[in-house]
Chain A
Amino acid sequence: MASSLLSIPKRIHKTLSNLRTGVVLLILVGAASALGTFILQRPATDPDKFARAYSPATLLWLDRFGFTDIFHAWWFMTLLGLVSLSIILVSIDRFPNAWRFYARPYRKTDSHFRSAIQNKIELPITNAEAGLNAAERALKKSGWPVERIADRSEPSLFSERHRFSVMAVYIVHASLLLIFAGAIIDGVFGFSGFMALQKGQTSNSIQMRTGGTKQLPFSLKCYGAGQENYADGSPKRWWSKLTVVQDGHEVESKEIVVNDPLVHQGLRFYQASFGMTGNLDGVKVVATAESGASREITLAMNEPLDLDANTSVTLAEYIPDFFVRDDQVFKRSDDPVNPAFRLQVKNEATGEDAKLWLFPAYNQSAEGEKTNYNFEYRDMQMGYYTGLEVSHEPGQWLVWSGVLLMGAGLFVAFYLVHMRVWVTAIPDPRGKLVLWVGGQSNKNRDRFEQKFNELVDNIRTELESASVIPHLAKREQAELTLAGVK
């Protein structure tokens, strides 16, 4: 049959369901993936790194062929699609045969089959029925299930184990397709983004990784977040206390850490980072009255705090990095390296509104206009935000089921051996009645040979105890031994 006679679709089918095509496709996928690890990829690399690594001309051609974003390039997706197609076609091609083999086991032997089997032996017996019964007993004792094949001219036994193992390869390939399907669903319907929350802030919008923002059907409120360090200063733990707010009600709360996300309505919120906003949260000072009583207070920006019935203090101004000129305090930069705090002390009784400055780098005590309180600096707390990664991966369950299925498939493929044993009473070439025992396995031939020999020994024992073995002349016995019949 000249291949030019086949129609185009048939030829495409033939090419794609070829094992060699599959291997070529896999080599291409492997090579493309390897390239993707050597050539800088756009999604994961800073743009200035590209400028340093490649000349503009090189970069132009790399971009044009998609080599700077191989894993999202159309041709890479096509390759993966072709691999999936190849797996599907090969499975469709071979499955009918495998199913026929699985559904209709070869229970009876004929002389042609018997001569082709590798593990076989002929045991001389006197009575066919008794011989078969003995063999049946031996098989059952060894743990083999036995089936009697009814046939008046040639009664026989059939025993097999783990027939399912022939399906293993289809399970493994189906699991691969399941994983691919999950990945495709995630690629099309999934998304990921970022949300930064400050303490007390509620938000329902996320910055998408691909650009733009997305509104979520519920909001997330942050009650607090923090970072714990080890003794050497490296981060030990980042945590955030989050609450899901839906329709005004607080629905779910969780304290999340790295490795333990919050999951709500298929959306996952991961603890990704923790940082300073650059704003001041509050400043801690110790206020000492003229009477000597002192108390530690925390002042937040523009929030008056009552010190006693008449006096209140407010943090009126915060300068992260100050300098003084002409008796005025100015801001040098936004780096909180040399902070200054302006306190306003209001006294209702006397009507005074005193201005005090706190320069912690120079003096613990506040200086300025005289009031009835002294203030000493203790600490400043910067505002922080917690960085949350948000992701929606509807297809991941297909991926995990695919993985589990593959595990099961590999187990069946490597560790479940399909073994078959046939026993039949037939006349040997010389006309004497013998019990023909044959066996076959689809893998691990050497182990099966051992098992088969053990089984044959058991059958021999049963035959002896049932006295089914004829007395042979020594010469005949010797002949049989020399002929290789054990």
Chain B
Amino acid sequence: MATRARIVRMEEPAETGGNALLVLVGLSVTFLLIVALLGAAKAGASLFSESNLLYVALIFYAAAGALYMGFGVTGMTRYVKFASTATAIGLVANTLAVAHRWYLSGRPPFASIYEMLLSFVWTVALLTLIAEKKFGVKIIGSITMPLAVVCVILMQLLPSEVRPLVPALQSTWLHVHVTLAMLAYAACAVSFALAMMFLIKDNFKTETFLALTSATVSAIYIAILATRFEKWGGLSVTAWDARDKSDMFIGRGMRLFVTVPDLGWLFVISALAAIAPLALYLVSRAQKDGSLYGIANKAVFVSILLQIVVLAAFALRVRDASYPSPDQDGLFPTSLAASPFLLGGLVTGIFASLLYLMLLWRRTDLQGLLPSADTLDRVTYKTICIAFPLLTFMIATGAYWANRTWGSYWSWDPKETWAAITWLVYAGYLHMRITRGWRGRRAAYFAILGFGVVIFTFLGVTYLLPGLHAYA
């Protein structure tokens, strides 16, 4: 009874406001589509090219993400339904983009990081729809769709030409190994989302979510500042060679960095704003003062605004400008394409903070939309039971293929090693669950940790630790 009255009270003033937001999202989608259409028509390029279709998919995935946010603001379940529809339309556009690229290159898209992200995003969207329909976890898209959007944004920046396959990649094992990898990673992503849903349903304290979100965003900013902050407050970014469409190098393996003045200070301010909620949370716990928690939530709001400012400033200043370099004389051009992961990190931080706000405002409604915690726990386990054999065979087919190409099935290459570590972590999850009976919270933490390792194996190793597996 009490719940019903509460919903009625909230619906009345928000009724017109709630619908207004829906209309706004719809109008934005239409506007962006028309702009894209006109842009393509003006350039004379074909309408149904792969990059246009991918852009359409991006619009709809972003719309789905925005609609989940809309649910966060208004609490109306119809937003969730529309978000599901938007995901489905995005998936159709994504499928057409994949088909077009397949047709152009004569092979499935598996040969570069751009193509891998394309396949990954497609699989994640598909598994999201399956999880929504089959397991009834209707809001799983609120986590997987932002992930898809981050990946598509990254793709817009990465080199996307269809390159013919180098000799080492001309093998059927390419399709087998990469398909298994995509399915395995997507299943791990879904298990991560399900574990998060479990924590939400299991009454994991919202304050702890605050601390963890704030810690994640702070970690992103600290990592960027630790590697890129220059004396006098500049931020160093890689220089970009527009002709070669690649990073500029001064020597073998050494990139040329330029310094964007004053951008570093902006990042510092945003980092402080990101740490503030975490600090307030810790003080609030130490002094057992609940009122500080309210201030911490307002601090999250401020942090989001600053993060958006930083993102805009970064994009505008790095997009098409030239800056001096400490290593060589002269001005060197730079471009967003030179810093895909910095950009990806910033966008991830914003999404994580927005998702926290959605949780803060709509926790009860979210919990209402989820199946029981026990079901979520079991479904997470079932998803990992699917992911684990896929991981095993991904590693095995990779080893067999490596044996045929390079004469050795295991060379302790960083990618191979981290894939094995990922396998060990999920094996650990299964062991703890089956042998030790770890359920609920501890199993969820393990699943979330596992996905962190997957992200590092998938993207971190490629960009931070080069090796034999340098294709993707």
Contact = CB atoms under 8 A, between A and B. Distances in A.
Interface stretch (B88-96, B138-146, B225-233, B411-419): B411-419
A236 B164 contact: yes
Given A230-B164, A258-B167, A36 B406 contact: no
A399 B400 CA distance: 10
Contacts of B385: 414
Contacts of A446: 378
Interface string A388-402: 011101001001100
Contacts of A260: 404
A56 B395 CA distance: 37
A19 B412 contact: no
Interface in B173-223: 173
Given A238-B167, A396-B403, A406 B392 contact: yes
B170 A258 contact: yes
A446 B403 CA distance: 43
Interface in A270-302: 270-272
Interface residues of A, number: 45
B421 A33 contact: yes
A192 interface: yes
Nearest to A35: B417
Interface in B78-110: none
Contacts, number: 98
A272 B399 CA distance: 17
A399 B403 CA distance: 12
B282 interface: no
Contacts of A389: 406-407
Interface string A222-252: 0000000010101111100000000000000
A23 interface: yes
A26 interface: yes
Nearest to A72: B412
Given A29-B424, A259-B404, A410-B392, A41 B412 contact: yes
A29 B418 CA distance: 12
Nearest to A190: B408
A106 interface: no
A469 interface: no
Nearest to A257: B167
B27 to A, nearest CB: 44
A226 to B, nearest CB: 12
Contact of A19 (B164, B166, B435, B465): B435
B437 to A, nearest CB: 12
A391 B407 CA distance: 6
Contacts of A30: 421, 424-425
Contact of A258 (B168, B420, B425, B427): B168
B388 interface: yes
B290 interface: no
B393 interface: yes
A330 B140 CA distance: 76
Q: Among A41, A258, A259, A260, find the residue whose CB has the most chain B CB atoms closer than 10 A.
A: A259
Given A34-B418, A406-B392, A410-B392, A26 B424 contact: yes
Contact of B389 (A235, A393, A396, A414): A414
B410 interface: yes
A37 interface: yes
B436 interface: yes
B49 interface: no
Contact of A34 (B392, B407, B421): B421
Contacts of A393: 403, 408-409
Interface string B34-78: 000000000000000000000000000000000000000000000
Contacts of A37: 414, 417-418, 461, 465
B168 A38 contact: no
A23 B171 contact: no
A238 B168 CA distance: 10
B389 A407 contact: yes
B217 to A, nearest CB: 24
A258 B403 CA distance: 11
Given A23-B428, A33-B420, A234 B407 contact: no
A149 B238 CA distance: 78
Given A258-B170, A261-B407, A399-B409, A26 B392 contact: no
A36 B417 CA distance: 9
A258 B418 contact: no
Contacts of A29: 424
B439 interface: no
B171 A259 contact: yes
Contacts of B328: none
B421 A259 contact: no
Nearest to B385: A414
A183 interface: yes
B405 interface: yes
Given A183-B410, A391-B407, A406-B392, A235 B417 contact: no
B388 to A, nearest CB: 7
A258 B170 CA distance: 8
Contact of B400 (A183, A238, A271, A400): A400
A411 B388 CA distance: 11
Contacts of B425: 30
Nearest to B436: A19
A259 B170 contact: yes
B456 to A, nearest CB: 9
Given A29-B424, A38-B465, A270-B407, A407 B167 contact: no
Interface in B131-174: 163-164, 166-168, 170-171, 173
B294 interface: no
A350 B367 CA distance: 106
A261 B404 contact: yes
Contacts of A41: 412
Contact of A192 (B389, B408, B417, B435): B408
B32 interface: no
A234 B404 contact: no
A411 B163 CA distance: 38
Contact of A23 (B164, B407, B421, B431): B431
B396 interface: yes
B417 A259 contact: no
Interface in A7-39: 19, 23, 26, 29-30, 33-34, 36-38
Given A41-B412, A258-B405, A400-B400, A234 B424 contact: no
A237 B389 CA distance: 34
Interface string B458-472: 000100010100000
A407 B393 contact: yes
A410 B387 CA distance: 12
Nearest to B420: A33
A60 B420 CA distance: 29
Of B164, B401, B411, most A-chain CB atoms within 10 Å? B164
A51 interface: no
A114 interface: no
A391 B410 CA distance: 13
A406 B423 CA distance: 13
Nearest to A46: B252
A232 B396 CA distance: 34
Given A44-B411, A268-B407, A410-B388, 10 more contacts: A33-B412, A36-B412, A234-B163, A234-B164, A259-B401, A270-B406, A271-B167, A393-B403, A393-B408, A410-B389
Interface of B: 163-164, 166-168, 170-171, 173, 378, 385, 388-389, 392-393, 396, 399-401, 403-412, 414, 417-418, 420-421, 424-425, 427-428, 431, 435-436, 461, 465, 467
6 contacts: A19-B435, A33-B417, A37-B461, A192-B407, A259-B170, A407-B389
A-B residue pairs, 8 tightest by C-beta: A258-B167, A391-B407, A37-B414, A71-B412, A403-B396, A259-B171, A389-B407, A270-B407
